[in-house]
């Protein structure tokens, strides 16, 4: 992993909506008016950027995923303006991790041999997402379907409009679904994604690799929960 995980995101704001505890089922979509946000703006200092997006895929996140998709063009225009086409690349992971020590009806174990695992079968534990999600339901009653495209693991100007969010089809990698684990461990997922063995095996393609030597690393967390840490760090029951 690079020496410094630099928390940067062009010259526009990043909003992190944080609540006090890890989620417990059932879920209820929180009105936008009560979401507390924090904004920080940074300037990029190098010409290239490797951008890792950690998307919470637990049950309350359909509204946030929809909002990110709807603002995709603004997001892309900001990247193009700040870095230039071909200067940045993006990968998406989830907050789901193998949950050793939890009860059997919590997240199931993910491992290198079993790509589709955990609750919603997205291949989690830091694996770059390569499934194009589409919500055939509503925000209140989401019904996600997925279409796999391995070329979407790492996105740049050549495939971002097809992979990240295709407005015409209303689908994209940013739609990770909402059946993921409510015990969010985005920091552990980030560590797994950017470390061996994933960074040089599953999280690479025949033509692209992440963590380029001449690029700054930017990490964006999209969640409505604080990180739950390692199993046992949070004492609330997971049943």
The string of pLDDT tens digits covering residues 49-80 is 999 999 998 888 999 999 999 999 999 999 89
Range 170-180 average pLDDT: 91
- Identify the band that residue 124 occupies on the pLDDT scale cut at 50, 70 and 90: confident
Q: Spell out the residues 6+ positions from residue 67 whose beta carbon is closer than 8 angstroms to its own.
A: none
CA count, 13 A, side-chain hemisphere, 126: 22
Within 10 angstroms of residue 115's Cβ, the number of other Cβ atoms is 14
Taking the CB of residue 146, how many other CB atoms lie within 10 A of it? 19
Q: Average of pLDDT values for 193-217?
A: 93
Q: Return the pLDDT at 26.
A: 47
Other Cβ atoms less than 10 A from the Cβ of 57: the count is 31
216 vs 32: which has the higher pLDDT: 216
Q: How far apart are CA 156 and CA 239, in angstroms?
A: 40
Average pLDDT over residues 131-140: 92
d(Cα 110, Cα 186) in Å, to the nearest integer? 15
Query: What pTM did the predictor assign?
Result: 0.73
Tokens of residue 59, six digits: 């049950």
* CA neighbor of 52 nearest in space, from 232, 203, 237: 203
Mean pLDDT estimate for the chain: 75
Contact between residue 83 and residue 141 where contact means Cβ atoms under 8 Å apart: no
How far is the C-alpha of 51 from the C-alpha of 220, rounded, in Å? 7
Say which range, 72-81, 167-176, 226-235, has the weakest mean pLDDT: 226-235
Joined tokens for residue 99: 């949950």
pLDDT band at 97 (very low <50, low <70, confident <90, very high): confident
Could you give the CA distance from residue 91 to residue 189 in angstroms, rounded to a whole number? 13
Give whole-number Cα distances, 83 to 93, 104, 140, 161, in Å: 22, 45, 37, 17
* Under 8 Å between Cβ of 18 and 36: yes
């Amino acid at each position: 992993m690079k020496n410094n995980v630099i928390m940067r995101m062009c010259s526009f704001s990043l909003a992190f909506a944080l609540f006090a505890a890890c989620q417990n089922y059932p879920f209820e979509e929180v009105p936008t008016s009560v979401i507390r946000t924090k904004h920080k703006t940074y300037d990029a200092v190098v010409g290239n950027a490797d951008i890792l997006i950690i998307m919470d895929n637990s049950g309350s996140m359909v509204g946030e995923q929809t909002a990110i998709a709807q603002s995709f063009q603004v997001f892309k225009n900001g990247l193009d303006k700040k870095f230039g086409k071909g200067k940045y690349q993006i990968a998406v992971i989830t907050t789901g991790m193998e949950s050793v020590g939890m009860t059997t009806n919590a997240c199931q174990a993910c491992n290198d041999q079993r790509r589709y695992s955990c609750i919603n079968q997205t291949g989690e534990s830091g694996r770059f997402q390569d499934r194009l999600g589409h919500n055939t339901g509503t925000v209140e009653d989401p019904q996600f379907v997925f279409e796999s495209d391995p070329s979407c693991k790492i996105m740049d100007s050549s495939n971002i409009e097809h992979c990240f969010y295709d407005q015409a089809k209303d689908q994209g990698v940013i739609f990770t679904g909402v059946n993921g684990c409510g015990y969010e461990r985005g920091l552990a997922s980030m560590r797994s994604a950017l470390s061996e063995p994933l960074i040089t095996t599953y999280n690479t393609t025949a033509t692209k690799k992440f963590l380029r030597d001449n690029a700054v690393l930017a990490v964006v967390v999209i969640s409505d929960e604080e990180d739950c840490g390692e199993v046992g760090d949070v004492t609330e029951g997971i049943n």
